[in-house]
Structure 1
């Protein structure tokens, strides 16, 4: 540690870090005092100690409350990460005391075939591993990863993620290609001559997700690239549970989904993959860690290896070599 960091370690207490987080979230001394169960004068004294340690003003006082300035927002962000790391230490020690050999806190979408298979693979090779899976949207999970609440996130590399300012703070360790897949519970449609194309399916009854999703946009692009007007869906739905139920209840339906979703549905049975030309790529899935320069726990490497072993695209019901691309960690 340099001298400035050593000074902070000697002067600041965990209660100071809690105050930084509480003030940044409540924006009032009264709200922070209620959260920390301390008096406002005591918090004012603590805030003075914090700002003296940083030799900088961290919060701007006004009649509307207290707002962190750029310095305060940065300090509060790091304080939150420290507290989450302490929470992780508490959870990990408790897990190890109860007989676990390692703890993995994983963020993932609610529909993914790779994650359950990889977790099962990990548990077979490391029976004492404990895995906590938190489901949600990728941008929300990434924020939890950066805040120290999660160890890794498996999710789609969306345009919003690439355009955000968090990308330089992420370390991708594994990338899996993704594509648009078509499923049905009925007989697979056939083309007149040659391979089945998107234009051949323009009159079929389609079930697709809403317009603001990447899958729907890729679905429309597939028809436009084939010089066909994108068909209006007969069913528009987002829920993976509803999609699976409707597919099996109505064999006439065709459904456009991600490969990860398709693999999950095919494994459940009762549906088949429809091979349509040309292939329509979707943003890749990635496994992301925080880029913090710290040594990686062995369980993170073990989980990435498990993902590599189990990932496989659903192509006409045949097993193929996974399309994996290992990324640089530099």
Structure 2
């Protein structure tokens, strides 16, 4: 009795060679050409095909001048692509692990404060390490640190505070960032170059970061220092895309990290309002788990520091 409906028992005799043969056969179009590419005889190629068809209890090809896959053949082709892809990735990972490296890098980041630094670091790093794939996750910094502690991330980039000093976490400061007051084309202050007091802007329609963020804490402290007890934001968001879109669709005013502001001003998407005080954001840094050492992580950190220093030098010049 067939066990195909009951799960994976039918696949226990399935081999990587079966899957490889099917992909080569579909690409080659004939048994003779597929056998040549796999360095085997045509009877041997036919044997592999017959074995696989017996396992799935269905024909996999339609014979003609050029072979075509049946519906069952298409399903097995998708399985072959998935399995052989995973095998190749695992092989790369094993080879990297044997050298004390990693074939992939999982990075967590917050948009505020990193701006162009992280993209430039990733691009530069992959020029030197083209075999390393990178996954970037955006989330609140507290979430990123929790994922670091659980070893679900390799690196986190964001605003450093006491949370970055947890036992198994270590960090490097990349640069010091400030908070800028910004508007979009929806504001009458677009293009305004005069100096404003922070207090004079308090009654405007504010878009602020959410209360749980480091930027919001620093911004609230600046308002208190300016003699403003409290502002009621019209919108609270930590998403740069939402901030920019709203600033262009209404008479809003918002807060953004200086690093991000510089990038967006070059693109013509934000205008910085001059105010009577410096609002410090804090140190932007890179954090990793010392319990999961990797030369790949170390090399990425070195690249990030180089990119940060290059940015500092360009600003000074």
Q: TM-score range by the shorter chain?
A: 0.5 to 0.7
- 1:188 deviates by 4.2
Query: What does 1:52-201 correspond to in 2, within 5 Å?
Result: 90=90, 93=93, 102-109=103-110, 112-113=114-115, 114-159=117-162, 161=163, 167-186=166-185, 187-191=190-194, 195-201=195-201
Distance 2:153 2:212 in 1: 27
Distance 2:275 2:303 in 1: 30
Q: Which runs of 5+ in 1 are unaligned?
A: 1-88, 323-330
Cα pair 1:208 1:255 within 8 Å, conserved: yes
Distance 1:209 1:313 in 2: 29
Cα pair 1:172 1:287 within 8 Å, conserved: yes
Q: Which residue of 1 aligns with 2:253?
A: 254
Change over 3 Å in CA distance of 1:144–1:208 after alignment to 2: closer
Deviates most, 232-241 or 130-139: 232-241
Q: Which residue of 1 aligns with 2:233?
A: 233
Q: Which runs of 5+ in 2 are unaligned?
A: 1-88
**Over aligned residues, Cα RMSD in angstroms?**
3.7
- 1:254 deviates by 1.6
Change over 3 Å in CA distance of 1:200–1:146 after alignment to 2: same
- 1:295 deviates by 5.5
One of 311, 316, 320 as aligned partner of 2:315: 320
- 1:263 deviates by 4.5
Change over 3 Å in CA distance of 1:214–1:173 after alignment to 2: closer
Change over 3 Å in CA distance of 1:213–1:170 after alignment to 2: closer
Change over 3 Å in CA distance of 1:151–1:216 after alignment to 2: closer
Distance 1:131 1:145 in 2: 16
Cα pair 1:154 1:286 within 8 Å, conserved: yes
Change over 3 Å in CA distance of 1:237–1:105 after alignment to 2: closer
Q: Give the SS at the match of 2:302.
A: helix
Q: Which residue of 2 aligns with 1:276?
A: 275
Cα pair 2:208 2:255 within 8 Å, conserved: yes
Q: Give the SS at the match of 2:248.
A: helix
Cα pair 1:273 1:314 within 8 Å, conserved: no
- 1:239 deviates by 3.2
